[in-house]
Amino acid sequence: MRNERLRDALLRNGFTPTDVALAIRVDAKTVERWITKGRTPYPKHRHALAAMLRESESYLWPDAVAPEHAAQVSESEVIRIYPHRNSVPVEVWDRLIDAAAKRVDVLVHAALFLVERPAFIKELRRKAEAGSGIRLCFGDPASREVARRSEEEGLGKGTLAARIRNALAFYRPLQGVAGVEMRFHRSTLYNSIFRFDNEMIVNTHVYGIQGAHAPALHLRRLSIGSLFETYSECFDAVWTSARSATF
């Protein structure tokens, strides 16, 4: 079975099997078999190729690492647990945003607190112009899911939709900027996800509690861990089902 994840990662990074073979000193036909036949490389080659592609081993070869080992490593992916999202220090957000050079992924309903950071939108534009990929996924303010969440959080009918529209006004300058994509989702959002390269803040959602007061996890990706990868795959799944945001 073809390894589509490996194939896609090579294409995204502009690498050919020959490039990989030269970089990690294996035969190009061996690399082809890793892709077309789904063969699993030796650990040293997995590590080198994952680093080269800036992906985790657990993403590229999900079955290569024993579940027990992956679980142990995943514990080390947790940098800190905060009792509430609004207790994540401002300097942590500043560092994550400032340091991101390749990817910024945001999955939220509104996240007005981000645009309260005065330079946030300008920083996203600057990063996109420097080659970073920016994906912003908001709750569809016209959806039943947003209306239901607004009531479940005790905000009242239409309040969350209004917050989303308010937030979108700040993001309007990013429309049409190369490298910035914005979409609306209609999913039942179990977690808000804020990814900055290989670090991430996951804001869990708790019934009846507003997001700012729900717990948050600060994660850092490790090559064979699976926790960071789980939330990355969650983002991708919602992103794939979302539609282009027009506002």
Domain at 4-64: CATH architecture:
Orthogonal Bundle (1.10)
Separation between Cα atoms, residue 66 and residue 54, nearest integer Å: 21
Tell me the average pLDDT across 89-114. 94
What are the boundaries of each domain within the chain?
A: 4-64, 74-244
Residue in 1, 81, 6 with CA at minimum distance from that of residue 41? 6
Residue in 76, 131, 138, 130 with CA at minimum distance from that of residue 106? 138
> Which tens digit of pLDDT belongs to each residue from 139-197?
999 999 999 999 988 888 889 999 999 999 999 999 999 999 999 999 999 999 999 99
Q: How confident is the model at residue 63 (pLDDT cuts 50, 70, 90)?
A: confident
Q: Measured in whole angstroms, how far is the alpha carbon of residue 216 from the centre of its chain?
A: 15
Contacts of 242 (CB under 8 A, 6+ apart): 137, 183, 184, 185, 186, 187
| CATH code of the domain occupying 74-244 | 3.30.870.10
Higher pLDDT, 128 or 64: 128
Contacts of 119 (CB under 8 A, 6+ apart): none
pLDDT value at position 216?
97
> Which tens digit of pLDDT belongs to each residue from 205-241?
999 888 899 999 999 988 777 889 899 999 999 999 9
pTM of this structure: 0.76
> Which tens digit of pLDDT belongs to each residue from 6-48?
888 888 889 998 988 889 888 889 999 999 988 888 888 888 8
Q: How confident is the model at residue 65 (pLDDT cuts 50, 70, 90)?
A: low
pLDDT value at position 68?
65
- On the question of pLDDT at 64 being above 80, the answer is no
Q: Tokens at residue 1, please?
A: 């079975």
DSSP-derived 3-state class of residue 184: strand
Residue in 85, 89, 72, 86 with CA at minimum distance from that of residue 191? 85
